[in-house]
Amino acid sequence: MNAKNEVLLVHRVNTATSFANAHVFPGGNLDSSQDGESYELCAIRETFEETGLLLTKEPIKKDSNLKSIREEIHSGKLRFVDWLNKENISVSTGTTNMGLFNRSPDRELNVIRCLDTFYCLGNA
pLDDT in tens, 41-92: 888 898 899 888 888 888 777 666 888 999 999 899 999 999 999 988 888 7
Q: Are 96 and 121 in contact (CB under 8 A)?
A: yes
CB atoms under 10 Å from CB of 84, counted, come to: 20
**Size of the chain, expressed as the number of residues it contains:** 124
- The pLDDT, as a whole number, for residue 103 is 52
pTM of structure: 0.74
SS3 116: strand
- Rg over CA atoms, the chain: 15
CA distance 85 to 96: 21
pLDDT in tens, 103-114: 555 555 555 555
- Rounded Cα distance, 71 and 73, in Å: 5
